[in-house]
Structure 1
């Protein structure tokens, strides 16, 4: 899966002041990614507020992204959940024409054991018509996928990668070490994406990359090429804004930044709320000083 090496971006779903999906803004954001060096797009992930979109809205979001992208970048779609039977049914019935892979999050809330996580993804693997990217994000799911579980799952032919977002560089390095050479360990944490890539990872599925597209994708390219000094120079230039966009939750922070770039509004859906005035001001100051 060479198309998953580099910088992927987890797209936001822009809303207008009335709270409905802003499709022209979504098309603008897609074009911005294509024009500024991003390698692939991730649709309907957490950053896209997929849990508060209706089925009809999801269809319309997919349509807008595919229209705007027009085949220029590979597309990954988020299909996951904590009811294995529901996820399996969605994989069997969803129209995923035009997508290259599926990003499937580890089950949240019901906190399965490692064997439960394995059996869940075994069922997902058997049902999926596309390659699968596992998604480990303990901060959202309340359970961590162990290295051993990831190694077991990597044995399935269509389980090709993991988006590893535990924020644990040692765990990520062990995944890189013990999984097959062609299995991709992708950072799901912007702050350690550079370090993970330099350690042998395959790049990142990024949030900040959506706004700082050119520099962030350049940083990952430097890291993939082994240009350590250049990659860290870009990393430290952006480090403060990476912290800022997650201070008050995702995607509130990135939407505030995208608003300053005039790409979309900062509207989010409850139970999320917009970034406060203090954070807005600091983000604006960062952009003004950024060169």
Structure 2
């Protein structure tokens, strides 16, 4: 599972002014990340506004990224949801031949029990031979998948190879790292807690901020994996403010404001999201000006 060690990035979906998908910006974003140290790409995650992407757009986005990537980096595709059967049907009908793993978010809204989480992912694991990265993000799903459930799934299914843990709770990382099978990866989904998780034994991150600072953030992860704490924390501290800013209002409006500042994408998002406020845009612009001066 070395292909998922390091920094993956949860790619945004760039939009034109009319809110159609901006495929040219998407190509530029992918190339920017490949050229600057990103280790793998995550397509159609929550940061990619998957909730408002049509089936046809999703197919076009996948095909565009596959074409631009041209086999250079591993690709992870978001396939998840609250309806287990629909997730299974999607897995069985999508062309996954160029996809290295799927990222499957814990069911949202329904707030299942821990047994419900287990049975949901058991059904998914039995429906595909692809590697599966679980995604625990209680801030979006309204229910935490507890470490014991994650570890149970890791032990019971060979194709469940990792978890993207985004509970924003350091102790939960420690519980996962303490009890996980030797070859199971704990991947951070919290940009602000990533370095601490890596230094404790984690395998890296699926990052939001990383797609705007791929060189710096991937370097921080590599230093952390090598146990070079002092150098890694120097980068962590240099990016602390911008990591806080991008999540201040909502994701991905914050990161799109950063990418707009870099002239990579627009800051357009689809309702019910709205672009970052003027005040936040100013804070981001000031940070970027200081960072590059």
Q: TM (normalized to structure 2)?
A: 0.98
CA offset at residue 129 of structure 1?
Answer: 2.4
* Correspondence for 1:216: 217
Q: SS at the partner of 2:103?
A: strand
For 1:263 and 1:137, locate their aligned partners in 2 and report how far apart those are by CA, in whole Å.
27
* Correspondence for 1:132: 132
* Correspondence for 1:42: 42
Unaligned 5+ segments in structure 2 are none
Does residue 172 of structure 2 align to residue 171 of structure 1? yes
CA offset at residue 68 of structure 1?
Answer: 1.1
Q: 1:33-92 CA distances to partner (integer Å, 9 max, x unpaired)?
A: 001100000000000001101110001111111111111110000000011111111111
For 1:75 and 1:148, locate their aligned partners in 2 and report how far apart those are by CA, in whole Å.
28
Does residue 57 of structure 2 align to residue 57 of structure 1? yes
For 2:129 and 2:264, locate their aligned partners in 1 and report how far apart those are by CA, in whole Å.
34
* Correspondence for 2:229: 228
For 1:86 and 1:108, locate their aligned partners in 2 and report how far apart those are by CA, in whole Å.
14
CA offset at residue 207 of structure 1?
Answer: 0.1
Does residue 181 of structure 2 align to residue 180 of structure 1? yes
For 1:213 and 1:30, locate their aligned partners in 2 and report how far apart those are by CA, in whole Å.
11
Coordinate RMSD, CA, aligned: 0.6
**Structure-to-structure mapping, 1:266-277, within 5 angstroms:** 266-277=267-278
Q: SS at the partner of 1:247?
A: coil
Q: 1:103-128 CA distances to partner (integer Å, 9 max, x unpaired)?
A: 00000000000000000000010002
CA offset at residue 153 of structure 1?
Answer: 0.2
Q: SS at the partner of 2:68?
A: helix
**Structure-to-structure mapping, 1:2-81, within 5 angstroms:** 2-81=2-81
Does residue 235 of structure 2 align to residue 247 of structure 1? no
Q: Which moved more, 1:85-94 or 1:217-226?
A: 85-94
Q: How many pairs were matched up? A: 291
Q: SS at the partner of 1:90?
A: helix
For 1:158 and 1:177, locate their aligned partners in 2 and report how far apart those are by CA, in whole Å.
21
* Correspondence for 2:100: 100
Unaligned 5+ segments in structure 1 are none
Q: 1:130-161 CA distances to partner (integer Å, 9 max, x unpaired)?
A: 00000000000011011110111001100000
CA offset at residue 181 of structure 1?
Answer: 1.0
* Correspondence for 2:193: 192
Q: SS at the partner of 1:115?
A: helix
After TM superposition, what 4+ stretches of structure 1 lie above 4 angstroms from structure 2?
A: none
CA offset at residue 284 of structure 1?
Answer: 0.7
For 2:238 and 2:49, locate their aligned partners in 1 and report how far apart those are by CA, in whole Å.
28
Q: SS at the partner of 2:38?
A: coil
CA offset at residue 97 of structure 1?
Answer: 1.7
For 2:36 and 2:283, locate their aligned partners in 1 and report how far apart those are by CA, in whole Å.
24
